[in-house]
Copies of this chain bind each other. A is one copy, B any other.
Amino acid sequence: MSSCLGPPPAATALAPVSAPAMTTLRAREDREQADRIALSAATTRGAHLRTEDVRAWLAERRRAHVFQVDRIPFAELDAWEFEHGTGNLVHRSGRFFTVEGMHVVEHDGPYGDGPYREWEQPVIRQPEVGILGILAKELDGVLHFLMQAKMEPGNHNLLQLSPTVQATRSNYTRAHRGMDVKLLDHFVRPDPERVLVDVLQSEQGSWFFHKSNRNMLVETVDEVPELDDFRWLTLGQIARLLHEDDMVNMNARTVLSCVPYPDTTPGALLSDAQLLSWFTGERTRHDVRVRRIPLASVRGWKHGVETIEHEDGRYFKVAAVSVRAGNREVVGWTQPLIEPVGMGVSAFLVREIGGVPHVLVHARAEGGFLDTVELGPTVQCTPGNYAHLPAADRPPFLDAVLEAPASRIRYQAVHSEEGGRFLNARSRYLAVEADPSVVPLDPPPDYAWATPAQLRALTRHGHYLNVEARTLLACLNAVAARTREGM
């Protein structure tokens, strides 16, 4: 039918009268790149470091540096102060970040992750967009990724595998020392021919106000000097490491979630248009009004000598630490961190539909999101925060996750959240096979079944998947690679 319609809209009608330029067009999608990514995912023996030696290498890097993190009272913070009037916790230079207050109202709420439709809380505000960049390079014909052994003060084990570069705007727009600049340049001035991932993604909406970072994966053909704190690993190696606790840091996981793996699945329960329409409906339905308020005015939180904490001891604390780190040159600083109360749980329920695995995503409101809701895991919470509530007010599907027998657990590992802002913030990430009798094909309105391929397509854009869902997506890719390895 369509063949008789002539040219498609705008394809030829706008053609100018001037002579056509000789410029070559690119295909809108790069299919060869997808093959190269799949090859890296299938390669579990790296060109440099063996996967089983990564832990020893990290231990060696830990020994090579001084790392000391101590809790301190707020009064011992250096150059940080509670601002006169607002009580906001700020750095005297105006740089880094601030701890302020946030007032949230869920109109027509609450929206299902607790019984509250209005609350106040402390929140980290850091309006600058940072760069999280992983450098890629072909070694022996296979894409490898340059991972850094990086200390972050909030990590209980201090050192984890991080992106090649983690830089705030202040870092990358000002002067730097030696090597960092050269690595940074791949991301600050990326070669358009070699960018594999480049997208702004949100971070924790319960702890950050409107935070997003630029997630980048850039290939190079240049010589990259060998550096003590950096190693090249394949996607297949990283997949294995994603099965270990507290090994791959949050910044690395979010970049990895955006890797454009090919999709060869035959379809999905919902078409892409239907999935987006459901999401638009959820974003429209959730009328969340958020305003920043002075930290001093936040109701329900107690300001102590060492912490700011919730009156009932729930949710999180604002704390302060002093840090000493370095190898030849030891540097020290102090900073606030947010410390959650208890370990979190983030889980996808998984179900095969029409022969293709689907995960149950949740349209989830968090006060710090730029735009109302994003797609989160089926379950995302700190169970202890709900222990005092009647069953009806606990998060849906929490029991289905917590009580799942081992035979239904497809993936699990404990991962740390961003150790530069959060202290001992750990969550158990799971993929749990859904019991069809408990979890219907036609889920509640704020839930939808989507395939991992559909979620990967959404990571090309910001504000769709929250950071916990992106960690799980990176883990699902890892499960796939691991399974393939065993075949």
A200 at the interface (CB under 8 A from B): yes
Binds B, one of A14-22, A111-119, A338-346, A419-427: A14-22
**Chain B residue with Cβ nearest A27:** B267
Binds B, one of A2-10, A58-66, A85-93: A2-10
| CB pair A263 B8 closer than 8 Å | yes
Q: When A and B form their complex, which 5 residue pairs have the shortest distance between CB atoms, in order from nearest?
A: A25-B267, A13-B483, A9-B480, A198-B277, A10-B452
Binds B, one of A34-42, A76-84, A306-314, A322-330: A34-42
List of B residues within 8 angstroms of A128 by Cβ:
287
| CB pair B16 A460 closer than 8 Å | no
| CB pair B13 A480 closer than 8 Å | yes
Given contacts A9-B261, A274-B195, A284-B129, contact A352 B18 (CB under 8 A): yes
Cβ distance A1 to chain B, nearest Cβ, rounded Å: 5
A110 at the interface (CB under 8 A from B): no
- Of the candidates B192, B274, B487, which one forms a contact with A270 in the assembled complex, judged by CB atoms under 8 Å apart? B192
List of B residues within 8 angstroms of A171 by Cβ:
none
Q: List 21 A-B contacts (CB under 8 A).
A: A1-B35, A1-B39, A5-B39, A6-B42, A8-B265, A9-B476, A10-B261, A10-B357, A11-B265, A11-B480, A13-B480, A13-B484, A14-B357, A16-B350, A25-B353, A25-B356, A127-B287, A195-B274, A198-B280, A200-B280, A276-B460
Within 8 A of B (CB), among A253-283: 260-274, 276-278, 280-281, 283
| CB pair B190 A277 closer than 8 Å | yes
| CB pair B42 A5 closer than 8 Å | yes
Given contacts A271-B30, A280-B200, A477-B10, contact A21 B169 (CB under 8 A): no
- Of the candidates B268, B276, B352, B354, which one forms a contact with A199 in the assembled complex, judged by CB atoms under 8 Å apart? B276
Indicate the member of A8, A21, A351, A461 with the most B CB atoms within 10 Å.
A8
**Chain B residue with Cβ nearest A274:** B192
**Chain B residue with Cβ nearest A127:** B289
| CB pair B280 A214 closer than 8 Å | yes
A388 at the interface (CB under 8 A from B): no
List of B residues within 8 angstroms of A225 by Cβ:
none
A138 at the interface (CB under 8 A from B): no
Q: A12-B483, A30-B271, A463-B463 are in contact. List 7 more A-B contacts (CB 8 A).
A: A2-B35, A7-B264, A26-B269, A26-B274, A129-B284, A192-B274, A276-B461
Within 8 A of B (CB), among A44-72: none
List of B residues within 8 angstroms of A263 by Cβ:
8, 28
Give the distance in Å from the alpha carbon of A276 to the alpha carbon of B199 in the complex: 8
Give the distance in Å from the alpha carbon of A284 to the alpha carbon of B462 in the complex: 12
- Of the candidates B5, B23, B436, B480, which one forms a contact with A18 in the assembled complex, judged by CB atoms under 8 Å apart? B436
**Chain B residue with Cβ nearest A477:** B9
Given contacts A16-B350, A28-B454, A357-B16, contact A5 B460 (CB under 8 A): no
Give the distance in Å from the alpha carbon of A267 to the alpha carbon of B370 in the complex: 33
A320 at the interface (CB under 8 A from B): no
| CB pair A14 B476 closer than 8 Å | yes
- Of the candidates B20, B264, B281, which one forms a contact with A198 in the assembled complex, judged by CB atoms under 8 Å apart? B281
A319 at the interface (CB under 8 A from B): no
Indicate the member of A35, A479, A484 with the most B CB atoms within 10 Å.
A484
Give the distance in Å from the alpha carbon of A103 to the alpha carbon of B373 in the complex: 26
Residue interface mask A344-375, B partner, CB < 8 A = 1: 00000011111111000000000000110000
| CB pair B10 A479 closer than 8 Å | yes
| CB pair B261 A8 closer than 8 Å | yes
A482 at the interface (CB under 8 A from B): yes
A401 at the interface (CB under 8 A from B): no
A176 at the interface (CB under 8 A from B): no
List of B residues within 8 angstroms of A8 by Cβ:
38, 261-265, 453, 480
